[in-house]
Structure 1
Amino acid sequence: MALTKEQTQHFYHKLLNMQKELSGEKKKTQSMTEEVGELSNGVDNHMADHGTLVTDRMTDQTVKEIDRELLEEVNHALQKIKDGTYGICEKTGQDIPYERLEAVPYARMTVEAQADVEDDLETDAPSFEREFHQQVKDLSNKETIDQKSSQTYEILDREQDSN
């Protein structure tokens, strides 16, 4: 069932609020040399202070990148509203359920289509990426966690035996 005008307006305003939040004034970060300079001018600075600084900088950069990508998705969804294609799955052409759009207003696909795309990406990924994803699944799966039968434990055992 296609979205009503009221529902589309609801999502339009929701997306505009997200756009405003994501493109709003961001905290200006100091340059790395300024921050390191402040630390090196002090007395009894510890290497951990520098490590914390680098970790904080990496975290800030990651958050900014995620915000940038999310802003692109929000802008894409707003354009789809203008084009009259909002709420239609880009892969199947089916209507995206209202509940999904309420949870993820910038969703491009139905849950099923998104899962298919992600499965395809995982299948097409190089073997080391597939192995990594399997290890993450093993470590987060309640059935395989703490079991020596998981792929992750087998890899760790092989690495330990080779040392």
Structure 2
Amino acid sequence: MFGYFKSILHEQKNMLLEQASQTVNSEVTKVREHLSDYADIAAVESDRTFHLRIRDRERKLIKKIDQALERIEDGTFGLCERCGEEIGIERLKARPVTTFCINCKTKLEKEEID
């Protein structure tokens, strides 16, 4: 069972790393046009900032993927950090980096709201 998740996590990580590499290469090799219109300059900067924010989120996801792979190796993958119970297989399939069972995650989210 863990082999399945290990494979999925490695695939996700490789895809994210490839996308990050493409973004960096695109930014480095992009020919900067001499833009004189402030609206064009703002649009280019806004687009660049948007892509960099996405890459930052993906960087954080890569860290979670690495942590999930470590949990597979040390035998704690699929166990809830809060209650110690097994995390349901469907939840792991939907979000293999999760560290909480659905009940504990629901409680944590409710506590954030209150």
Normalising by structure 2, what TM-score?
A: 0.84
Spell out the pairing of 1:29-68 with structure 2 (5 A cutoff).
Answer: 29-30=27-28, 35=32, 38-40=33-35, 45-68=36-59
Task: Measure the CA separation in 1 of the matches of 2:91 and 2:69.
Answer: 16
Who is 1:155 aligned against? none
Cα separation, partners in 2 of 1:88 and 1:30, compared to 1, 3 Å: same
Task: Measure the CA separation in 2 of the matches of 1:39 and 1:100.
Answer: 50
Who is 1:81 aligned against? 72
| Counterpart among 22, 28, 32 of residue 26 in structure 1 | 22
May I ask how many residue pairs the two structures share in their alignment?
109
Who is 1:142 aligned against? none
Structure with the bigger RCO (C-alpha within 8 Å, sep 6+) is 2
Gaps of 5+ in 2: none
Q: Which SS does the other structure have where 1:93 is aligned?
A: coil
Q: CA RMSD in A?
A: 1.9
| Counterpart among 87, 94, 97 of residue 106 in structure 1 | 97
- In the TM superposition, residue 113 of structure 1 has moved relative to its aligned partner by 1.2
**Larger Rg, first or second structure (1 or 2):** 1
Task: Measure the CA separation in 2 of the matches of 1:95 and 1:107.
Answer: 12
Sequence identity (%):
25
- In the TM superposition, residue 104 of structure 1 has moved relative to its aligned partner by 0.6
Gaps of 5+ in 1: 1-6, 124-163
Q: Deviations over 1:23-50 (max 9, x none)?
A: 233322149xx74xx233xxxx432211
Normalising by structure 1, what TM-score?
A: 0.60
Who is 2:2 aligned against? 8
Task: Measure the CA separation in 2 of the matches of 1:75 and 1:122.
Answer: 29
